[in-house]
Chains A and B, each alone.
Chain A
Amino acid sequence: NAGVTQTPKFRILKIGQSMTLQCTQDMNHNYMYWYRQDPGMGLKLIYYSVGAGITDKGEVPNGYNVSRSTTEDFPLRLELAAPSQTSVYFCASSYGGGSYNEQFFGPGTRLTVL
């Protein structure tokens, strides 16, 4: 299994541009998540999904959108990029919640907005 894969690994955007961060998992997990991590800080949850067609906001959803049309894919869309969105973005997946919340993380996408 490849686990959780993310593309691209690095990206530089200009203010106002848009982009989609891709995330795919091959573990047939129902739950998927997007986090961002600013320098020296812990991860903050942006959006999450408990299954195909179901998404919900996390702690810091402003400026982002998600969709979940399949079990495997959970893309994150940035509209009108701003310097405050410069961060490392991690996608994760898990079988479930509670005692089944072992989350598997991807390698991250390092985004810089100039």
Chain B
Amino acid sequence: DAKTTQPTSMDCAEGRAANLPCNHSTISGNEYVYWYRQIHSQGPQYIIHGLKNNETNEMASLIITEDRKSSTLILPHATLRDTAVYYCIVLSGGSNYKLTFGKGTLLTVNP
């Protein structure tokens, strides 16, 4: 699976959009981009995933560049409860199921 690079930490004001970048320049054509988050002391929580097209669900939007070498997770209206570590993970398609968690980005949402 391709490696990912994320900033160590980011800040965001409550109510504003949080844009979390992820670089995955060695991604292959059949590899998915997954995002999880981990609120302090809790188990990780799935947010969203995509292959080529942009994706949106009730939690967030995922924007993948046309060359697929980077992506951005967007939380449209961040709240204090969105303060967490966000993990960007690249995973092969097919039967691959072993997520590799890096250190992620600590997003702090400030009042």
Q: Which residues of A contact B (CB under 8 A)?
A: 4, 31, 33, 35, 40-45, 48, 50, 58, 90, 92, 94, 96-99, 101-108
Is A92 within 8 A of B97, CB to CB?
A: no
B93 at the interface (CB under 8 A from A): yes
Of the candidates A31, A43, A98, the one whose C-beta lies within 8 Å of that of B101 is A43
- In the bound complex, residues from chain A placing their C-beta under 8 Å from that of B42 are 107-108
Decide: A107 near B92, CB < 8 A? Known: A45-B98, A99-B49, A102-B49.
no
Interface residues on B, range: 20 to 34
Q: How far is the CA of A35 from the CA of B10 in the complex (A)?
A: 26
Q: Are A101 and B102 in contact (CB under 8 A)?
A: no
Given the complex, which residues of B lie within 8 Å of A102, measured CB to CB? 46, 49
Does the CB pair B96–A45 fall under 8 Å? no
